[in-house]
């Protein structure tokens, strides 16, 4: 968890669903304004319980334009829409570079495209 004032950003790396499950089971708040999608939006991560615990306002999915794994997974994108329907999802292969700015109270997101 990266915190700047009141703004919380959860940077997940490549954690799988099993780690998400353990994190949800720990007595600590996972609530975050921004979620960096785990494992490039692969279906091995982003469980419904984890998304509910985080409750992000914004989701960033970092993935290369020509990735051979076809990330992000369509089921994961649908899960984002189902669990956190008000959170915009920024996929870097579509939006280019994603820039985050915060004054410690608010978070702004700009994209290359």
Sequence length of the chain is: 113
Convert the pLDDT of each residue in 38-66 to its tens digit: 999 999 999 999 999 999 999 999 999 88
Residue partners of 53: CB distance under 8 A and separation at least 6: 23, 24, 30, 31
Per the rule left: phi > 0, alpha: psi between -120 and 50, beta: everything else, 65 is alpha
Which single residue is written with the structure tokens 């702004």? Answer: 108
Q: How far apart (Å, rounded) are the C-alpha atoms in residues 51 and 24?
A: 10
Q: What is the pLDDT of residue 66?
A: 87
Backbone angles phi, psi at 35, to 5 degrees: -115, 125
Give the model confidence (pLDDT) of 25-40 as tens digits: 999 999 999 999 999 9
Confidence (pLDDT) at 101: 98
- Host H or E run for residue 102: strand 98-102
């Amino acid at each position: 968890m990266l915190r700047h004032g009141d703004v919380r950003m959860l940077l997940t790396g490549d954690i799988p669903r099993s780690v998400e499950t353990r994190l949800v089971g720990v007595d600590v708040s996972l609530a975050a304004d921004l979620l960096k999608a785990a494992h490039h939006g692969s279906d091995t991560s982003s469980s419904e319980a984890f998304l509910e615990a985080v409750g992000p306002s914004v989701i960033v999915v970092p993935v290369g334009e020509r990735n051979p794994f076809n990330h992000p997974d369509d089921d994961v994108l649908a899960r984002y829409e189902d669990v956190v329907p008000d959170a915009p999802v920024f996929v870097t292969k579509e939006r280019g570079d994603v820039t985050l700015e915060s004054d410690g109270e608010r978070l702004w997101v700009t994209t290359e495209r």
